[in-house]
Amino acid sequence: MSLTIGIVGLPNVGKSTLFNALTKNDVLAANYPFATIEPNVGVVGVPDPRLDTLSEIFGSARKLPATVDFVDIAGIVKGASEGEGLGNKFLANIRESDAICQVIRAFKDENVVHVDGKVSPKDDIETINTELILADLQTIEKVLPRLVKESRIQKDKQAQVKAVEEAKAILDEGRTLFSAGIVQGTERAAVLHDLHLLTTKPFLYVFNVDEDELTDDAFKDEQRALVAPAEAIFLNAKLEADLAELDDEEALELLQSVGQDEPGLATLAHVGFDTLGLQTYLTAGPKESRAWTIKKGATAPEAAGVIHTDFQKGFIKAEVISFEDLVATGSVAEARAAGKARMEGKDYVMRDGDVVEFRFNV
């Protein structure tokens, strides 16, 4: 199961800087608007210290974290839907994403041009939301006449026409579909799925702030209020880029010097997982310790199916030890002896951090 997050924002707000830090890639990050004109996709491991512990216990040769795909696209400006700046065609590159991460500039730096001449998170959020809403309206205006025509002959299309018209009314009011409860993954959004509307996706907001703002709670509360109930993450993209170059110990030292205990990117990955209702379970052995992505509420056979569909079909049972119990007892044998290893059947609902070995017929 892969998780894709599309990064949007005005030009020059630090999207590519953040993306580079995420992927340690060297995508062109430059001090001029529109440095990015090709989409960039980066696969990022979700930081998970549990894998270090597991690989020690099991003597694993490698560690494989869960991953998130990030897509970096060119900045969009006010009027992008009418062709301003580079237009809005790049939004097509994030149509398939599971969530949208909006990067907002809060850092001041006079050397970095702001396309609208002033740093204003509130205005920028509005600009981007408006452009996403207009992009969705363009999509709808393109397909609606055809749908209406088809529905005269194919009566089963009438429900879709109704849903599209309802979506259009919401967007016409300047609201995102997400804020109206029409969210990708729910039944209300399912009938609109083929349109890949951007505002049905869950939104996350990353505020790219100055270092001193990282610990300024009053400032952060103010920004949080702009985007609630969506999640807000505060980081400094340049600092994140520096952290990516350092070894763990040096990175921790730098983080602590600015009052943080984990990199903003780790927070972003965790919040992304949470927003999308995902969690991870773990497998471990001499070959590898690995985190696997599943939906919250997934059953044991569904979890097995993420490794291989045959594992789901042939599922018999799962031996489950919670990560905490495994660490406390020190090994699988000890956990078994202490009665902490459970045999679970096909109705078992997985929990985050379950360490699992599946038994199956193939």
Ligand X SMILES: Nc1nc2c(ncn2[C@@H]2O[C@H](COP(=O)(O)OP(=O)(O)OP(=O)(O)O)[C@@H](O)[C@H]2O)c(=O)[nH]1
Binding site per annotation, positions: 12-17
Among 6, 11, 42, 263, binds ligand X (CB under 6 A): 11
Of 21 and 192, CB closest to ligand X = 21
| 223 interface partner picked from ligand X, Mg ion, none, CB below 5 to 8 A per type | none
Which among ligand X, Mg ion, none contacts residue 65 (Cβ within 5 to 8 A by kind)? none
Using CB under 5 A, pick the residue from 3, 6, 13, 16 that binds Mg ion: 16
Q: Which residue's beta carbon is nearest to the bound ligand X?
A: 75
Cβ neighbours of residue 295 closer than 8 Å, sequence gap 6 or more? 1, 277, 278, 279, 302
Q: Does 15 bind ligand X (CB under 6 A)?
A: yes
Binding residue (CB under 6 A) for ligand X from 3, 5, 21, 36 = 36
For residue 157, which amino acid is it? K
Rounded to the nearest whole angstrom, what is the least distance from the CB of residue 224 to ligand X in the complex?
A: 19
* x-marked contacts with ligand X along 60-99 as a string, rule CB under 6 A: --------------xx------------------------
Q: Which stretch binds ligand X (CB under 6 A): 10-18, 220-228, 301-309, 346-354?
A: 10-18
31 binds ligand X (CB under 6 A): yes
Annotation: binding site for ATP: 12-17
Min CB(46)–Mg ion separation in Å: 23
Q: Which is nearer to ligand X, 13 or 294 (CB)?
A: 13
**Letter string b/e over residues 1-32, b meaning 16 or more CB atoms within 10 A of that residue's CB:** eebbbbbbbbbbbbbbbbbbbbbebebebeee
Please identify which residue in 5, 8, 13, 204 interacts with ligand X, judged by CB under 6 A: 13
Q: Scan residues 25-84 and list those touching Mg ion (CB under 5 A).
A: 35-36
Stretch touching ligand X by CB under 6 A, among 14-22, 146-154, 155-163, 334-342: 14-22
Q: Which residue has the tokens 């209020």?
A: 225
Report CA-CA distances (Å) from 321 to 57, 172, 334, 336, 337: 13, 51, 11, 9, 12
Residues binding ligand X (CB under 6 A)? 9, 11-17, 29-31, 33-36, 74-75, 107, 109, 112, 208, 236-238
**Binding footprint of Mg ion on the chain (CB under 5 A):** 15-16, 35-36
